[in-house]
Amino acid sequence: MPTTNNIVLRPRFKIEIEKNNETVLKAFETAKTTESEFIITRLDDHVFIKFPKHKQHFWSPQLHLEINEVDKNTSLLYGLFSPNPTVWTMFMFFHFIVAGLFIAFGIWAYTNWSLKSSYAIQVSLMLLMVIIWIALYFAGSIGKASSKNDMHLLNDFMTKILKTVV
């Protein structure tokens, strides 16, 4: 699960499996009935693995697996570690709001500059938006760092299930 790029907020990986995708998906279905440490949900070729509510915290990750059939004996597993979708949506909303305000303040500053009025307040607000954007980025990075152990647990569980298939 190593990532070569430290800027990645949602690490991805790909694994080729020498089994049919239905066999792999059934292994996760079977694990769902016996597993109490993780919640496993399957939807078509997608498997979601997350922690139970009592073990979750704000930054708890989940593992999304997509298992696609390549041919009758081979499948490709695409994995994505991400925060809770609600948390991810909230962060993206904040990023879009900050970007929108930055553009709006930029237009306001340009208008005042064109009218030969003072535009120091608008430029200051633009700089504030840049600082807020950087703070949001670091908050996401801190959240990812605080959930690395959880990501390893999810990865180890996935590996354990895949070993039963292969």
Residue among 79, 136, 41, 14 at smallest CA distance from 144: 136
Q: Quick check: 158 and 65 in contact, CB under 8 A? A: yes
What pLDDT, on the 0 to 100 scale, is given for residue 32? 87
Q: Kindly state the percentage of the chain with pLDDT values over 70.
A: 94
Tally of CA atoms within 13 A in the half-sphere of 11 that contains its CB:
20
pLDDT band at residue 60 under the 50/70/90 scheme:
confident
Q: Residues 28-50: what's their mean pLDDT?
A: 90
What is the predicted pLDDT for the residue at 84? Answer: 83
Residue spans of beta strands (DSSP E) within the chain: 12-17, 39-43, 46-50, 61-71, 74-83
Instruction: Average the pLDDT over 17-35 and give the result.
Output: 89
Average pLDDT of the residues in 92-103: 96
- Taking 90 as the threshold, does the pLDDT of residue 49 lie above it? yes
The Cα 62–Cα 145 span in angstroms is 14
Alpha helices in 64-119 (DSSP H): 85-114
Rounded mean pLDDT of the chain? 89
pLDDT at 44 over 50: yes
Q: Distance between CA 48 and CA 28 in Å, rounded?
A: 10
Provide the pLDDT confidence category of residue 5 given band limits of 50, 70 and 90: very low
Those residues with Cβ within 8 angstroms of residue 147's Cβ, 6 or more apart along the chain or in another chain: 59, 60, 61, 83
How far apart are the C-alpha atoms of 126 and 143, rounded to whole Å?
A: 26
The percent of residues in the chain predicted with pLDDT above 90, rounded, is 55
Q: Quick check: helix, strand or coil at residue 131?
A: helix
pLDDT at position 7 is 44
Section 101-114 average pLDDT = 97
pLDDT at 4 over 80: no
